[in-house]
Amino acid sequence: MKNELEAITFKNLQIELTRFFLAYKFALQEIETKINILQEEFKLIHEYNPIEHVSTRIKSPKSILMKIKKKSIEPSIEDIRENIRDIAGVRITCSFVEDIYKVSAMLQAQHDIEIVDVKDYIAYPKDNGYQSLHLIIKIPIFMSDHMEKVYTEIQIRTIAMDFWASLEHKIYYKYNKEVPEHIRIELKEAALQAAELDRKMERLNKQINILKENETEPSLLDSTPISHLAKYLTELPNK
């Protein structure tokens, strides 16, 4: 009887954990859909896409266990769900710093996204030079028998910021987080140089936009069937 009860409990836990991870998977799918819509709209309406690349990930069970121990979290699904808010993660890479804030504002304006926390490591970089904009959000997902709001972390950064962060992570992993002081100093200098590169590229982009505004290039919309419909509608006589 005892073994039978233990087997039932173990099976129920497996089901609960499966649903737990599915919720994060569905949350990422919801956010990816929202981002795809924004990309498509910008491409067609504004002839410009502020988003270069999007990647997603769900923390592995091993990473979650390590964080449980590090933060002394009670080993219950509810406590894990509430206290580890970056199990689902989205990374959005933009061309320019101003695009980061545009994308952030568009996501924050969506009525079904609840903003829990915003950390601006661009305006206030970390001591090691790290820069990025972090959003902790809650997004609703609908399961077969209930709706739940799922914590998700969104990191938005430029290509230069992402390149630096990726290399910094690899270096710290190689040295098992015991990085020599001279390397830490050089990493911070590299972060400052990456930030200067971002500022320079943004200045160039603004100059190019000014030149484009003075040109009379046809819009992408001008060659679509929609343009013909718009022209027809504007030529209809007023009643």
Residues with catalytic function: 153
User: To 5 degrees, how large is the angle CA 92–CA 165–CA 193?
Assistant: 105
Q: Which residues pair with 91 in a beta bridge?
A: 55, 155
Question: SS3 of 90, please?
Answer: strand
- The 10 Å Cβ neighbour count of residue 192 is 13
Sheet-wide strand order for 51-58: 51-58, 88-94, 147-158, 133-142, 114-120
Identity of residue 128: N
Instruction: Give exposure, 26-41, as e/b (b: 16+ Cβ within 10 Å).
Output: bbbebbeebbeebeee
The closest of 139, 138, 93, 97 to 120, measured between CA atoms, is 97
